[in-house]
Structure 1
Amino acid sequence: MVGAVPIRGVRPLALLALALTCLPAAGCDHVVAAPAPSPSPARTAPAPSQSTPVSLAPPRSPAATPSPVSSSALDLLTGPARPSDLDVMTFNLRYASEAGANTWTQRRPVMRELLDDERPDLIGTQEGFATQLRDVAADLGRDYSYLGLGRDGGDRGEHMAIFYDTTRLRAVESGDFWLSETPEVPASTSWGTARPRMVTWALFEDPRTGKRFYAANTHLDNVSENARRHGAALIAGRLAVFERLPIVLTGDFNSPATAVSEVHRTLVDRAGLQDVWATAPVRGPAYATIHNYGPLIADGERDDWILTTRGVTAVAALMNTYRRAGRYPSDHLPVQARLRLP
């Protein structure tokens, strides 16, 4: 276990925590105590050719070019990446709102600084609204694009958008499916879910190495344990019919990453995925990944995961606790990992 790492030597990188509080009526998707999910079929299916990826990102400003002296938290934790390494982040952005404290207007500059420091190759996001995602895309700069539909269909509702560095990765195809008994039907719900739940996925290629892999990103229900169980089983079934390539699954699973979680057991024990937080030989300090802008909780519940198929090597993992003047970019900690594809 490694201690907290400072970013750029100016922005301290400690590591944030969790405070489990949410007002469902406000549209928040956090659970107060999360157990497990299971089965069903999903919409965007199998193998490598479902749809041509469509970038939803607007024209972006080049202003978000990272400083040449910046070092990512992963670099500070484990040293410079190899050219073929893949830096991945899962990040619940917290939906954009101008009501109350920690508005999007207040949080956006902090998120911009965090992402400017980190520059992940791949970011699985949750809760982003269309206008919010366009803000993030503009702040990341012209080298990034993103894909994914809104959970209410089209551009509506929260997205499970996947951002990627276009100088590093090429999107070959992509798709979306809903976690319901009718996964091809946008905004469909089943199993007592509070809101529509979905998965956005893409097949990527690294032009430098010629290697391909799948990325999938989700946000499981915050209310219904039954929906989480079924959602996890549906995801496992869909991943199983993808082409035999490495898979990286990111998300807010609203479930603890422990043996008591049926969601975790379904995806790790039964589907054969590995939890990079458990397998990485180098890790930053552990905290609850939901903090709700409160104090960090050491060794608290980890609801935000990065999972991979066997054969993908986790070099390092961390929870990024960056904040500025006491303000966090979101009510979740972004979780990051450096991966090596087979």
Structure 2
Amino acid sequence: MDRRRWFWALVAAGALVLVSGFVVAEPARGDATVRVMTYNVRGVNDPPPRDWRTRRKLVGRLLGRHDPDLLGVQEGRWHQIRDLAEMLPDHRWIGLGTQGGTKDQILAIFYAKRFEVLDFDHFWLSDTPDAIGSASWGNRYVRMVTWAKFRDRRTGAVLYQVNTHLDNGSAESRMKSAELILRRVRGFQAGVPVVMTGDFNAAAGASPVYTTLTGAGAFQDTWTTAQKRSTQYGTLARWHPPRRNGRRLDWILARGRVRTSWAEIDPYRVGGLYASDHFPVVAHLRIG
């Protein structure tokens, strides 16, 4: 089935792919650097002061600090995605709930108006990746990928962004998910750079998932290839103060002609309140 027929089949089935804006005018700002952020914003079931109503102001301030051109969001619920869209008025977004439509967690990519969407799709991390809401391999939750192909109106560069959230309970699921993602990425247009954002629920450096995704011919970790970087903190802090040299579970990976000038983990807080139980990771990239 071609993409247009597939899209309308989803609409008819009530599993509408959520896409906000395709062709918009680019604002005049900045240079050729692409600021990429990955951020697990945490769900909505925490009591005050960790509830979303309290935290969303901090999230808005944090986004304002970094002003990402491309933002991969994990764990967002529908009303959280709407709030993020208000926080980022110069962005559009693509996403879909893991159960289809707006149901359950939404894997969203927010993109600045400098980018034109050339293509997009979703797949599920399971034995039946094209089946909405499918799960295999001992997943605790339904897991999926949102990806988009962009053209940067500012530079003319074309790139893909892949956004994902691997399972926190099943090591087998994480490995098979990584292998599936690599197979799908190898089907992208040859020679076009790929940036992957995500909460991988596996430690950078030593975990089998990291080794698989950063193996020969796969991705590079922008944290390790960056010309300069901030202090390293563990990215899953669980509302506690940041730990230096802690485990990085949230990564920005890159494949192809991508250079990283700066990488950062931001343990932003106001008083004792954090915007999420995860810290966002930011990378400043040159594409092509």
TM-score where L is the length of structure 2: 0.89
The residue correspondences of 1:265-284 to structure 2 (distance < 5 A) are: 265-284=211-230
The residue correspondences of 1:170-181 to structure 2 (distance < 5 A) are: 170-181=116-127
Bigger fraction of residues in strand: 2
Match for residue 338 of structure 1 among 269, 284, 287: 284
Q: Which residue of 2 aligns with 1:241?
A: 187
The Cα shift of 1:319 comes to 0.4
Whether contact under 8 Å (1:57, 1:134) holds in the other structure is no
Q: Which residue of 1 aligns with 2:74?
A: 126
Match for residue 258 of structure 1 among 199, 205, 216: 205
Deviation per CA, 1:223-274, whole angstroms, max 9, x where unpaired? 0000000000000100011002000000000000013x11111110145210
Whether contact under 8 Å (1:248, 1:308) holds in the other structure is yes
Whether contact under 8 Å (2:17, 2:96) holds in the other structure is no
- Identity percentage over the alignment? 41
The Cα shift of 1:56 comes to 4.1
Query: Counterparts of 1:178 and 1:271 in 2: how far apart (Å)?
Result: 23
The Cα shift of 1:54 comes to 6.3
- Computed over aligned residues only, the root mean square deviation of the Cα atoms, in angstroms, reads 2.1
Whether contact under 8 Å (2:182, 2:218) holds in the other structure is no
Whether contact under 8 Å (1:148, 1:175) holds in the other structure is no
- Residue 157 in structure 1 maps to residue 97 in structure 2: no
Query: Which amino acid is the alignment partner of residue 114 of structure 1?
Result: L
Match for residue 144 of structure 1 among 91, 97, 106: 91
- Residue 231 in structure 1 maps to residue 177 in structure 2: yes
Deviation per CA, 1:64-89, whole angstroms, max 9, x where unpaired? xxxxxxxxxxxxxxxxx961111000
The Cα shift of 1:326 comes to 2.3
The residue correspondences of 1:190-339 to structure 2 (distance < 5 A) are: 190-244=136-190, 245-259=192-206, 261-339=207-285
Q: Which residue of 1 aligns with 2:56?
A: 108
Whether contact under 8 Å (2:147, 2:161) holds in the other structure is yes
Deviation per CA, 1:81-138, whole angstroms, max 9, x where unpaired? 9611110000000012353540001100011111122111000010000111001111
Query: Counterparts of 1:118 and 1:287 in 2: how far apart (Å)?
Result: 17
Match for residue 117 of structure 1 among 45, 49, 65: 65
SS in structure 1 of the partner of residue 106 of structure 2: coil
SS in structure 2 of the partner of residue 269 of structure 1: coil
Structure 1 pair 86/54, CA: closer, same or farther in 2 (3 Å)? farther
The Cα shift of 1:292 comes to 0.9
Structure 1 pair 144/82, CA: closer, same or farther in 2 (3 Å)? closer
Deviation per CA, 1:197-243, whole angstroms, max 9, x where unpaired? 00000001111221110000000000000000000000010001100
The Cα shift of 1:57 comes to 4.6
The residue correspondences of 1:2-41 to structure 2 (distance < 5 A) are: none
The Cα shift of 1:195 comes to 1.1
The Cα shift of 1:311 comes to 2.2
Whether contact under 8 Å (1:111, 1:329) holds in the other structure is yes
Deviates more, 1:300-309 or 1:96-105: 96-105
Query: Counterparts of 1:210 and 1:153 in 2: how far apart (Å)?
Result: 33
Whether contact under 8 Å (1:51, 1:175) holds in the other structure is no
Whether contact under 8 Å (2:17, 2:101) holds in the other structure is no
Q: Which residue of 1 aligns with 2:40?
A: 92
Whether contact under 8 Å (1:253, 1:304) holds in the other structure is yes
TM-score where L is the length of structure 1: 0.75
* Gap runs ≥5 in structure 2: 9-15, 22-28
Structure 1 pair 189/55, CA: closer, same or farther in 2 (3 Å)? closer
Whether contact under 8 Å (1:199, 1:217) holds in the other structure is yes
The Cα shift of 1:310 comes to 3.2
* Gap runs ≥5 in structure 1: 1-43, 59-80
- Ranked by relative contact order (alpha carbons within 8 Å, sequence separation 6 or more), the top structure is 1
Structure 1 pair 271/189, CA: closer, same or farther in 2 (3 Å)? farther
Q: How many residue pairs align between the two structures?
A: 270
The Cα shift of 1:170 comes to 1.3
Query: Counterparts of 1:287 and 1:208 in 2: how far apart (Å)?
Result: 33
Whether contact under 8 Å (1:98, 1:105) holds in the other structure is no
Query: Counterparts of 2:102 and 2:160 in 1: how far apart (Å)?
Result: 23
Whether contact under 8 Å (2:118, 2:150) holds in the other structure is yes
